[in-house]
């Protein structure tokens, strides 16, 4: 029984120290959203990434703000996920195929037909 409590104490201590390392982080990415449809696409798409907790898209500033748990994901993975939706993420280019599939209004002004 004494041993059991010993193990429980160690487990509880580990649990506390692990949760102490996991922190919510905020990331602001320069991107290329054009309209409300993009806002929806980006929010829906990035929320599918494990660890992403909050997504805000600022159309005026062309910024995507993401709050994430750094235990489950990282800045690079989030940026890659954004490019796979068809949008730029800082210096990373949008995935060409995903970009091609975007609605006309969601493409960059110079690419609209
Ligand atoms: Cu759009």
Q: pLDDT tens string for the chain (113 positions)?
A: 677 777 777 767 766 666 666 689 999 999 999 999 999 999 999 999 999 999 999 999 999 999 999 999 999 999 999 999 999 999 999 999 999 999 999 999 999 98
Expressed in angstroms and rounded, the spacing between residue 105 Cα and the centre of ligand 1 is 5
Expressed in angstroms and rounded, the spacing between residue 31 Cα and the centre of ligand 1 is 12
Domains of the chain with CATH codes:
23-111 (3.30.70.100)
At 14 the pLDDT is: 67
Distances (CA, A) of 7 to 18, 21, 106: 16, 21, 56
pTM: 0.81
Residues with CB under 5 A from ligand 1 (ion): 34-35, 37-38, 106
């Amino acid at each position: 029984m004494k041993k059991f409590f010993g193990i429980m104490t160690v487990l509880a201590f580990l649990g506390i120290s692990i949760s102490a390392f996991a922190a919510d982080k905020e990331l602001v990415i320069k991107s290329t959203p054009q309209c409300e449809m993009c806002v929806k696409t980006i929010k829906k798409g990035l929320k599918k990434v494990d660890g992403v907790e909050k997504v805000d898209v600022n159309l005026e500033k062309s910024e995507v703000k993401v709050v994430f748990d750094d235990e489950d994901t990282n800045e690079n993975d989030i940026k890659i996920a954004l490019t796979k939706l068809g949008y730029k993420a800082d210096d990373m280019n949008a995935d060409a195929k995903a970009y091609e599939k975007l609605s006309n209004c969601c493409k960059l002004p110079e690419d609209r037909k």
